[in-house]
Amino acid sequence: MRKIATEEAWSIPEVAAALGEVARGPSSSLDKLLIAAIYDPASKGSGYAMLNFLDGLLDTEGPAPEGNG
């Protein structure tokens, strides 16, 4: 069995796609900067995009990180 944390550390493709739409919306919220960095593939140059952070959130089958298995 693989342990997962809360919704902030795991997601499903449908939720990720919806958050990508939010990131491209007209809001001027500062939270949008983080949402865009993680969930909008067009958001180039952010640390999250460069680290493929979203791939890790969507990975339900890969190995558990060190110390969490």
Tokens of 33: 């900067």
Residue 63 and residue 69 in contact, taking contact as beta carbons nearer than 8 Å: yes
Q: What is the pTM of this model?
A: 0.64
> For residue 57, which of 1, 5, 22 has the smallest C-alpha distance?
5
pLDDT of residue 46: 61
pLDDT of residue 40: 84
Q: What are the residues whose beta carbons fall under 8 Å from the beta carbon of 47, sequence distance 6 or more?
A: 37, 53
**pLDDT (tens digit, 9 = 90+) per residue, 6-45?**
555 678 899 999 999 998 899 888 888 888 888 887 766 5
